[in-house]
Amino acid sequence: MTGFDAIIARDQRIEPRDRMPDAYRATMVRQIAQHAHSEIIGMQPEGRWITRAPSLRRKAILLAKVQDEAGHGLYLYAAAETLGADRADLTAKLISGAQKYSSIFNYPSLTFADVGVIGWLVDGAAICNQVPLCRTSYGPYARAMIRICKEESFHQRQGYELLMRMTRGTPEQREMVQEAVDRWWWPSLMMFGPPDAESPNTARSMAWKIKRHTNDELRQRFVDMSVPQADALGVRLPDPELRWNEERGHYDFGEVDWAEFRRVIGGEGPCNAERIAVRRSAHEEGAWVREAAEAHAAKRAGRAA
Ligand code: 3HC
């Protein structure tokens, strides 16, 4: 058994200096880069509510959360660079559509209740998906996940706390929360990826211990976690087939609209064009900062030489 296979078999970490199959390197760059893209694009739905937050406290919380997402993105781009990826190249691939970001961020955030529901459901789904990644076989990715997961739990809690207040508020606030849950529930289930039977990457990612659970297993874990939380909030999840299955020890739930999922990841979601346009203009308007940093670094290097 070669070095790489032996390290995987012993459940140890692959480190940047280790020899690894080209396909392992390529799929790690793919997953880490798209995870990073998701964090960066994910700043947009909530970012638009920072200036509209209903109180200074809510504004401060949201500002901290959105800043965290930016940091997660930079952390993950740094992990991708340990595999030889170039950050500028990854950004170009995101903007050109050559690489993906999570489908969930292609939905609009229409009211401030969305901020709470995104925290509760989207960051909750992210936690389900990311905690196992703390044990992923690629060392820098696993280590990045430890800090990211700690911050995600703050993200999920602040969202849930906002919803606890709103669902105990006025009838209009309760209605805003229910309307947001109706819009975000099914897209949150799509975050875990296609069904295992239609996932081209899962089998190999499980064999290389990149993934510790399959898409369907984590989706089920998220549903099982969310139903009691919805009950505590007093909101209804928009799935008439949702019911506890004593025999399985899990909640049965309805079929995800995979045609919608394919449309959204194919670029036809409600906000795809807007999300990329905002990312592109931020990149172009920030060119002067990159040029100034490079000029400064060159000057310092010149002095040091
Ligand atoms: N959105 C967009 N693309 C998706 C997707 C989604 N929800 N689910 C799957 N896909 C894509 C995959 O990237 C793959 O396309 P590719 O081969 O061109 O990359 C294709 O659909 C088939 O899916 P697979 O299940 O075969 O792909 P993976 O094995 O990579 O599994 C994944 C998909 C579960 C998302 C996995 O990549 C993963 O766990 N990634 C790390 C976590 C992550 O990226 N989370 C995204 C959300 S980040 C976030 O929520 C931030 C938080 O702060 C809110």
> How close is the Cα of 30 to the center of ligand 1, in Å?
9
At the second CATH level, the architecture of 4-304 is Up-down Bundle (1.20)
pLDDT for 278 equals: 98
Global ipTM = 0.98
Q: Kindly state if the Cβ of 68 falls inside 6 Å of ligand 1.
A: no
Judge residue 115's burial from the number of C-beta atoms within 10 Å of its C-beta, 0-12 exposed, 13-18 middle, 19 or more buried.
buried
Please give the pLDDT value at position 286. 94
- Indicate whether 291 pLDDT > 90: yes
* Model confidence band, residue 304 (pLDDT cutoffs 50, 70, 90): confident
Q: CA torsion angle for 268, 28, 45, 103 (degrees, to 10)?
A: 30
pLDDT tens across 159-210, in order? 999 999 999 999 999 999 999 999 999 999 999 999 999 999 999 999 999 9
Q: From 29, 34, 191, give the residue whose CB has the most ligand 1 atoms within 8 Å, as the site to mutate.
A: 34
State if residue 35 touches ligand 1 by the CB under 6 angstroms criterion.
Answer: yes
Q: Which tens digits make up the pLDDT trace of 88-144?
A: 999 999 999 999 999 999 999 999 999 999 999 999 999 999 999 999 999 999 999
- Cα–Cα dist 77/86, whole Å: 9
Averaged pLDDT, 222-246: 98
Are 274 and 47 contacting, i.e. CB atoms less than 8 angstroms apart?
A: no
Q: Is this prediction's pTM over 0.90?
A: yes
For atom 51 of ligand 1, the residue with the nearest CA is: 39
Q: For tokens 């659970």, what's the residue? A: 213
Residue in 44, 66, 69, 100 to alter for ligand 1 test, most ligand atoms within 8 A of Cβ:
100
Q: What is the pLDDT of residue 303?
A: 80
In the chain, where the domains are located: 4-304
Give the model confidence (pLDDT) of 29-88 as tens digits.
999 999 999 999 999 999 999 999 999 999 999 999 999 999 999 999 999 999 999 999
Distances (CA, A) of 14 to 86, 149, 189: 20, 21, 30
The pLDDT tens digits for 266-290 are 999 999 999 999 999 999 999 999 9
Choose among 78, 184, 223: nearest CA to 139: 78
d(CA 192, CA 79): 21
Q: Is the pLDDT of residue 1 over 70?
A: no
